[in-house]
Amino acid sequence: MVIPPHLNRTLSTIMSQTASPPAASSDLRNAVIRLAGDSQDGIQSVGAFLGQLAGTTAQEVMTYMTIPSTISGGPSIFQVHLGSGEVLHPGDRADTLVAFYQHSYDGHLDTLKDGGICFYDSDNVEELKDERGIIHIGVPFTSATIEAIGGSAKSRGKNIFVLGLLCAVYQLDREKMTAIIAKKFGRKSEDILRNAMLAFDAGYALARP
């Protein structure tokens, strides 16, 4: 996947503002991340993976999620509060918002703190609001995942793409996260695991030029 140079530079700047130095990646400062999309996007899986990673490191975690009441699914969120210190609540205002759709962006931008970061799927979000010093980073979650996995993937796997992106931005333990992914998807089939790792690596590489 070819990454535009300007996007690389922007992500590098964001990382310097949000993440701990590489040598101190286990000392992640408190970070509240809200993922907003639809239930079929696997948002709960991303939050679960982040929670499992925290359980294998010195980090603490608390989560909050909403699940649609209808069988067919609908808008859903997963908020995760990560930190090396004591984490006692899921967080009020998010440091980072990940918006999968326009309705996700419109409905949850107000939960982002002033000066926070909004990663949005540039394939699905077109109208942005310039307010409160919020930093907008458009990333093609959908098309980048399709490119990484193959055209037959459609939009499946973009949640794992986002997981890779977040791991890079917050300098989480990549080796441990890939082990968690392998344990989860390795039980299904080699093809499913392969696609999951391709999506994860594509998201990770986007933020780690």
DSSP string, 32-78: EEEEEEEGGGTHHHHHHHHHHHHHTSS-EEEEEEE--SSTT--EEEE
Structural contact between residues 140 and 165, judged by C-beta atoms closer than 8 angstroms:
no
pLDDT of residue 73: 67
Q: How far apart are CA 202 and CA 145, in angstroms?
A: 7
Q: How far apart are CA 33 and CA 38, in angstroms?
A: 16
Averaged pLDDT for residues 8-22: 47
pLDDT of residue 85: 57
pLDDT of residue 155: 62
Q: How far apart are CA 64 and CA 50, in angstroms?
A: 12
Which amino acid is it at 13? T
Cβ neighbors of 175 (< 8 A, separation 6 or more) are: none
Cβ neighbors of 148 (< 8 A, separation 6 or more) are: 1, 157, 161, 198, 199, 201, 202
| pLDDT per position as a tens digit, 125-184 | 999 999 999 999 999 999 999 999 986 656 679 999 999 999 998 888 999 999 999 998
For residue 159, give the H/E element and its range: helix 158-169
CATH topology of domain 5-207: Pyruvate-ferredoxin Oxidoreductase; domain 3 (3.40.920)
Closest CA to 59 of 199, 163, 167, 159: 167
User: Phi, psi at residue 21, to the nearest 5°?
Assistant: -60, 150
| pLDDT per position as a tens digit, 68-116 | 655 666 888 888 887 655 544 556 789 999 999 999 999 999 999 999 9
pLDDT of residue 18: 47
Q: How many CB atoms lie within 10 A of CB 179?
A: 15
| pLDDT per position as a tens digit, 25-78 | 444 567 889 999 998 888 888 988 988 887 776 566 666 667 665 566 688 888
> CA 93 → CA 30, 39, 75, 153, distances in Å?
12, 22, 19, 34
